[in-house]
């Protein structure tokens, strides 16, 4: 057997089971020691976590654990609440998102958000999607942009014949996909989803979950969900938040465990995570 032949024979590789199968990770958000306060009350304390590009990161945990507060920090939505302030840092591609001179509006330009309850504007389907691009002065090729966003949101085929009709005439599931299209129309990098399917029926929920699978090819997705099975189905990474109860009865949200979703749902490292995902408490 000559050398060429030997080289041509592929070695038998022993596949090692790795707890972290994702090898290439590009950090989008690097959150360091983040605490959020509403007045004197600590909502979430000392969160350290990295969010990776083109992955779906799910935030799960019981009510009041601060997961919604946390996700709202990722595009500075908490700025709209006068008493809210933060400690620590959120680095977005290495840049401090809360640094002086950073315009919250420009943050939201790259980091879009979709809320629990579909909230279309009382305008036409077309105008809902075109609203963001128009506001940002992206007037060129607007029709194509609207079509692309609606297609990405898996809504185009259902609405293409009635773009001028009111968005409020759409079903709940369609309205939510419209809100996703609205977020996508400005071509953000990150899409934040705060309980996007909790107001929807199971079929509309499935279509949103399918959509999330599709969207992660182009976007980085962060999703807050109460539905643990939804996190198990859609997320690559899962962060479990819980409540830390202090002696004086005060309580604040903490990040308990953050890992690859499969690990969280088969072999969580923390007993509090185990208790929550198995439904034993929380």
Partner 1 sequence: MMDGGGGLRVSFQEQLDRTETALQEEGEFVLRALRGSMNALWEQDTELSDEVIAFDDQIDAIYFNIQGGIQALLAQQTPVAGDLRLVLALLYSNLHLERMGDYCVTIAKLVKLASDFEPEPALVDAFSDMGARAEGMIRVALDAFEQRDVEAAETLVDLDEMIDRANRRVVEQVFALGSDPERLEWGLRMITVSRCLERIGDHAVDIGEQVAYLVTGEFREFTDASRRPDSPSPQ
Residues at the interface with partner 1 (CB under 8 A): 17, 228-229, 232, 264-268, 271, 273-275, 277-281
Listing from the earlier edge strand, what are the strands of the sheet with 56-60? Answer: 95-96, 84-92, 27-38, 41-52, 251-260, 237-245, 56-60, 220-224, 190-194, 111-114
Q: How near is the Cβ of 229 to partner 1 at its closest, in Å? A: 6
Q: How near is the Cβ of 272 to partner 1 at its closest, in Å? A: 8
Q: How near is the Cβ of 242 to partner 1 at its closest, in Å? A: 11
Nearer to partner 1, 66 or 268 (CB): 268
Nearer to partner 1, 24 or 280 (CB): 280
Distance between CA atoms of residues 236 and 78, nearest Å: 26
Nearer to partner 1, 48 or 229 (CB): 229
* Cβ contact 216:57 at 8 Å: no
Q: How near is the Cβ of 276 to partner 1 at its closest, in Å? A: 9
Q: How near is the Cβ of 264 to partner 1 at its closest, in Å? A: 8
Distance between CA atoms of residues 179 and 199, nearest Å: 13
Q: In the chain, what is the straight-line distance between the N-terminal and C-terminal CA atoms, in Å?
A: 65
The H or E element containing residue 96 is: strand 95-96
- At 192, is the secondary structure helix, strand, or coil? strand
Residues with Cβ within 8 Å of residue 215, at least 6 apart in sequence: 152, 180, 184, 191, 221
* Cβ contact 200:176 at 8 Å: yes
Distance between CA atoms of residues 125 and 162, nearest Å: 8
Q: How near is the Cβ of 280 to partner 1 at its closest, in Å? A: 6
Nearer to partner 1, 187 or 257 (CB): 257
Nearer to partner 1, 187 or 209 (CB): 209
Nearer to partner 1, 62 or 88 (CB): 62
Nearer to partner 1, 95 or 267 (CB): 267
- Angstrom CA distances, 132 to 76, 114, 146, stand at 17, 13, 10
Q: How near is the Cβ of 172 to partner 1 at its closest, in Å? A: 25
Q: Are strands 84-92 and 56-60 parallel, antiparallel or unpaired?
A: unpaired
């Amino acid at each position: 057997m000559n050398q060429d032949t030997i080289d041509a024979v592929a070695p038998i590789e022993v596949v090692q089971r790795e707890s972290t199968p994702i090898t290439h990770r590009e950090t989008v958000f690097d959150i360091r020691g983040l605490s959020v306060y509403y007045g004197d009350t600590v909502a979430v304390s000392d969160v350290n976590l990295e969010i990776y590009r083109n992955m779906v990161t799910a935030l799960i945990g019981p009510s009041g654990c601060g997961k919604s507060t946390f996700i709202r920090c990722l595009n500075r939505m908490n700025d709209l609440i006068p008493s809210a302030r933060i400690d620590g840092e959120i680095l977005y591609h290495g840049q401090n998102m809360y640094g002086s001179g950073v315009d919250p509006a420009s943050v939201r330009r790259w980091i879009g958000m979709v809320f629990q309850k579909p909230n279309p504007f009382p305008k036409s389907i077309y105008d809902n999607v075109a609203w963001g691009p128009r506001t940002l002065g992206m007037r060129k090729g607007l029709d194509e942009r609207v079509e692309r966003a609606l297609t990405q949101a898996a809504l185009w085929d259902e609405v293409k014949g009635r773009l001028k009709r009111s968005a409020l005439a759409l079903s709940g599931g369609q309205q939510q996909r419209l809100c996703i299209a609205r977020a996508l129309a400005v071509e953000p990098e990150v899409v934040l989803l705060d309980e996007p399917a909790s107001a929807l029926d199971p079929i509309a929920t499935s279509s949103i979950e399918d959509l999330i699978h599709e969207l992660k090819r182009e976007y980085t997705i962060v999703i807050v969900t109460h539905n643990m099975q939804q996190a198990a189905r859609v997320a690559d990474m899962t962060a479990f938040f819980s409540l830390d109860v202090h002696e004086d009865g005060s309580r604040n949200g903490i990040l308990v465990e953050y890992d690859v979703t499969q690990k969280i749902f088969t072999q969580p490292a923390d007993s509090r995570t185990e208790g929550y995902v198995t439904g034993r408490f929380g």
